[in-house]
Every structure is written in structure tokens, then in C-alpha cells.
Amino acid sequence: MQIKRLLWAVLLALAAPFASFAGVAYIPSRPCNCNAAWMPAYPSWNPGCSQNWNNNTENSEPYNFQRQQGQEKQQKKRPINQDYNYYITANVAMNMWSWENEYESNYAGVDLVFNNDDYSFKSVWGGSVAVGTVFDSGLRGDIELGVSKKFKDIDDFAGFTMHVPYIMANVYKDFDSGLYLGAGLGAARPTVTIQGDLFDNIETEKSSISPKVGVSVGFATRLSDNIFIDLRYRLSGLKGTDISSEFWWDQYNDGNYEQFYMHVKAGLILENAVLAGIRFTF
């Protein structure tokens, strides 16, 4: 009997350290509350719990991966004009003019049955420069100076040429995709010349001031940090000018020179323009 008691005492003595170690090493499977009253006294009892983890759980907010991803995408898709305050643009333009010339003269050589010319999509090269600034909500505006080079139409009676310098104030709305819409209002100075044998090859020139109104749609894409490629289509309209010239002519070859005139009136000019340019931002 004493031997059995002795054996039980030995077994209990050997099992006690293992039981104590198992109790200390136990870690709860659920998140601990580091604010528990007993934790400050025994921080080493739960090595899986950090002093800052789940501290003040009422005020902490879990990390939302989807929301963070959405914010990053929104930043990447912001309008490109939010990256700068000012810009300068230089453009080359292919202008296509459509308008009508009306002629009037007391000279028999001018066929009054066909007293007008209709011009459709006559191509004229041009160029422009613009200086602009950026406003809020994807809006920007600029002042544009440009010119459309000379259109020429020469026949047996006379030669007709026209070119148009202009200035415009434009406002644009930029979208995240790089597309933008615009509208502009300004003034143009159509300049017309006529010249021919009947005028003793003396060139007569006249200019006038006309309002110019246009709407446009374009696309801009980034070439580098502060340089963009800018492509734009613009539909605009302006009023043409008229010009008159007088000349003396012996139409019957009898030595009697008579005074004649010719009047040319250019009507409303409809301009379809495709502009390609580079935008420098700063």
C-alpha cells in the first residue's frame, strides 16, 4: 500500500510541470482584448496580442481594400488639366472654307448671267498659338491668335485672293478620358485682293472686321510630364468682306477709254478646321 502511494506521488510530481507549461502556452483562438483588467499585469501570458492591436476598438476602423483601390483609380483618372496652372499651345491647321462670291460690274466682259462663284471645302493651311489658364471643375480657357493663309482663284478677267487673321477667346471642358469640348468667340480680319490685266496689274486690297464664332471637340494625350499632343476639330463661321475696283478700258478699240468698275462681295465663310498641336504646361 505504501508502495502505491509512493508511485502516485512520483507521477504527480512529474506531471505538475507539464500541466503548468501547457496552461501558460495556451493562446486563445479568438482575438484578445488587450484592455482586459488582467492583461497589464501579465503581458507575457498572451504573446500573440500586441499592446496596440485592437486597442480602443470602438474608434478604430478596419482597412477597406476595395475602397482604397477605388481611391487610387480615381486619382489616376483625374482630368489631365489638374496637374498644372498655365499652358501654351502651338497648332498647325488645315482649314476648309465654304462660301459664295457675288460679282457686279458694268463691263461687258463680266457675264452677269453667271455672276457668282460657289466655293466648297477649299483647303487653306493655317496656324495658331494660344496662352491659357486652368479653372476649377475641369475648365480651362485661353486666348488664341491665328491666321489662315491665302486662297487664290485666278481667271482670265481677274485674280481673287483672301486670307484671314483672327483672335479668339476659348473655353474648354476637359474629361477624364482626354476628350474635351470647347466654344470660342472672337474677331477675324478677312483681307481680299483683286488683280488683273484690266487693272493694269495694280493690286487692290481691302480688309474688314468680322465676328468669329466656333465650337470644337478635341483629344489630348500626355507625351511627357508637361507636354501633351492636342488634336482638335473646330466648326466656325465669319462674315466675308467686299471689295470694289475701278479701271479704264477701251473695249471697242476705237481710242475711247471708258471707266468701269467691278464689285466682289464674299458672303458668310463656313470653316471646317482640323488642328494638330503641342501643349506645354507649367
pLDDT tens by residue, 187-199: 999 999 988 766 6
- Confidence class for position 259, pLDDT limits 50, 70, 90: confident
- Confidence class for position 41, pLDDT limits 50, 70, 90: very low
pLDDT over 90 at 262, yes or no: no
How many whole angstroms separate alpha carbon 186 and alpha carbon 170?
9
Average pLDDT, the chain: 78
The confidence score (pLDDT) of residue 105 equals 79
Q: Which whole number is the average pLDDT over 130-142?
A: 93
The confidence score (pLDDT) of residue 111 equals 62
The confidence score (pLDDT) of residue 36 equals 46
Query: Model-level pTM?
Result: 0.68
Whether 199 and 247 have beta carbons less than 8 Å apart is answered as yes
pLDDT over 50 at 271, yes or no: yes
Q: Which whole number is the average pLDDT over 101-121?
A: 78
Q: Which whole number is the average pLDDT over 96-120?
A: 81
Convert the pLDDT of each residue in 175-184 to its tens digit: 989 999 999 9
C-alpha distances (whole Å) from 88 to each of 59, 91, 99, 226, 248 are 50, 10, 32, 11, 51
- Confidence class for position 71, pLDDT limits 50, 70, 90: low
The confidence score (pLDDT) of residue 57 equals 47
User: Would the CA dihedral through 118, 120, 124, 129 be positive or negative?
Assistant: positive
Q: Which whole number is the average pLDDT over 150-171?
A: 89
Q: Which whole number is the average pLDDT over 15-23?
A: 51
Cell of 190: 478677312
Give the up-direction half-sphere exposure of residue 273: CA atoms within 13 A in the CB hemisphere. 28
The confidence score (pLDDT) of residue 244 equals 83
Task: Report which DSSP code applies to 203.
Answer: -
3-class DSSP assignment, residue 249: strand
The confidence score (pLDDT) of residue 164 equals 97
Convert the pLDDT of each residue in 217-230 to its tens digit: 999 999 988 999 99
Domains of the chain: 2-45 (no CATH), 80-281 (2.40.160.20)
Higher-confidence position of 20 and 282: 282
pLDDT over 90 at 94, yes or no: yes
How many whole angstroms separate alpha carbon 156 and alpha carbon 215?
39
